[in-house]
Amino acid sequence: MDFYFGVFSFAAIYGILAMSYTLVHGVGGMFTVAHAVFFGVGAYAAALISQLLPPGLMVLDIVAAALVTGLVGAAIGLAALKQRGQYMMLITFSIQIIFSVFLINTHALGGEDGISTIPPFRFGPWVLGGSLASMILLWVLAGLTFAFFSYLTRSDFGRTVRAIREDELAVEAVGVNVFRMKWLVFSLTAGVAGFAGALFAHVTQYISPNSFNFDAAILIVTISVLGGQFSYIGAVVGSLIVMWLPILVGYLGIPGSQVAAIIQLIFGCTIIVMLYLRPAGIIGEAAVRYADPKPAPDVPQVRQ
């Protein structure tokens, strides 16, 4: 049973990660492919900081990892957000590649072998691992992330961010500091991705560069495309599907050596099919209604 709790735990962690991607990409319109970098920075930061803290204070390392990642995101954002559209994608793509090379070749971070001495995260009586209690805790954290992002998206801040996505120049023309808004969103989502990475490090108790490479970046995109690029619920649904997929493939009796290839093949086909049939993802249209429950009074409603 612990195994299934473990799968749901990973779904919660990747759900948090995918929700942060939804905010930066779906809501903010910033096409970044460096989200696995922030996930990785958070995981490595938590792994390193946790070695310095006594077991009772481990909640601090997760908070610290999120802050460190937020700062890294802020630094990257300073460079990347000066560029528009494709240029931002180019920079984040480069950073993803450089980060992978850096992790593999830095012996202080365990090199290709990674770090295997990460203690399980303790939260009062609970130990994050495969248990029911830790799974519930992780889903509570995912729920809080969902509530926070939903609130943020509906707030004035969120409306401005969405307006920037639609027409950056127009928003700039009414006096909004577009760069600062985008930078805040980018840094915030980096921090949340780092938070997810820290949880990941403590749940698996082992991290290696393979978990944060270009494949990981594609995994995040797959979750987002599958569930819905503009929806936080979609991010969670996509995460659940993607985490359960390997289990279902395993049930088919496929040889272990081929499971990874088949899963990646399914991910690739999923992206193509979803973009073709349902670009807004499984939860797409429902999410748009959810995000805007009340249209502004002076905007006439258009019957679709």
Partner 1 sequence: MLSLATFGAVWGASIAFVAVALGLSWRVLGILDFGLAAVYAVVAYVQYTIVRDLGIAVWLAAPLALIGGIGLQLVIYRVVYAHFLRARQSLATVVLLSLAVLYVCQNILVLCFGSAGQVILTTPPLRLQFGPLSMLAIDVATVVSLLVVLGLLYLLFVRTRLGLAMRGMAVNPELARTLGVSPERVRAMTFCLTGAIVAVPAIIGSLYDPITPTIGFNPILFAFAAFVIASVRSGLGIPQYALCGVALGLVTGLSLLFIPSQWQLAVPFAAMVVVTIVRRNAGPVQRAV
Nearer to partner 1, 177 or 258 (CB): 258
- Stretch binding partner 1 (CB under 8 A), from 11-19, 36-44, 217-225, 286-294: 217-225
DSSP label at residue 118: P
Nearer to partner 1, 81 or 201 (CB): 81
Size of the site for partner 1 (CB under 8 A): 38
If one asks whether residue 164 binds partner 1 (CB under 8 A), the answer comes out as no
Binding mask 252-281 for partner 1 (x = CB under 8 A): -----xx--xx-xx-xxx-xx--xx--x--
**Shortest reach from residue 84's CB to partner 1, in Å:** 7
If one asks whether residue 250 binds partner 1 (CB under 8 A), the answer comes out as no
Residues 53, 60 contacting (CB under 8 angstroms): yes
**Shortest reach from residue 70's CB to partner 1, in Å:** 21
CA 50 – CA 7 distance, rounded (Å): 24
CA 65 – CA 93 distance, rounded (Å): 23
If one asks whether residue 221 binds partner 1 (CB under 8 A), the answer comes out as yes
If one asks whether residue 104 binds partner 1 (CB under 8 A), the answer comes out as yes
| E-only strand ranges, the chain | 122-123, 126-127
**Shortest reach from residue 184's CB to partner 1, in Å:** 20
**Shortest reach from residue 218's CB to partner 1, in Å:** 6
- Residue with tokens 């850096």, as numbered in its chain: 102
Contacts of 219 (CB under 8 A, 6+ apart): 14, 36, 242, 267
**Shortest reach from residue 258's CB to partner 1, in Å:** 6
Among 1, 3, 86, 294, binds partner 1 (CB under 8 A): 86
- Residue with tokens 């180019």, as numbered in its chain: 90
b/e code 102-116 from CB counts within 10 Å (16+ = b): ebbeeeebbeeebbe
If one asks whether residue 248 binds partner 1 (CB under 8 A), the answer comes out as no
Nearer to partner 1, 51 or 94 (CB): 94
If one asks whether residue 249 binds partner 1 (CB under 8 A), the answer comes out as no
Handedness of CA 48, 52, 55, 56 (dihedral sign): negative
- DSSP code per residue over 172-196: HHTT--HHHHHHHHHHHHHHHHHHH
Nearer to partner 1, 138 or 263 (CB): 263
Among 57, 101, 140, 144, binds partner 1 (CB under 8 A): 101
Calculate the alpha carbon distances from 77 to 19, 171, 195, 227 in Å: 19, 19, 18, 26
Residues 157, 30 contacting (CB under 8 angstroms): no
- Stretch binding partner 1 (CB under 8 A), from 13-21, 94-102, 182-190, 200-208: 94-102
Structural Rg of the chain based on CA atoms: 19
If one asks whether residue 226 binds partner 1 (CB under 8 A), the answer comes out as no
Q: Which two tokens stand for residue 140?
A: 């509570």
Phi, psi of 231 (to 5 degrees): -135, 135
Binding mask 143-162 for partner 1 (x = CB under 8 A): --------------------
Q: Which two tokens stand for residue 115?
A: 């770090």
Footprint on this chain of partner 1 (rule: CB under 8 A) = 25, 31, 79, 82-87, 89-91, 93-95, 97-98, 101-102, 104-105, 218, 221, 225, 257-258, 261-262, 264-265, 267-269, 271-272, 275-276, 279
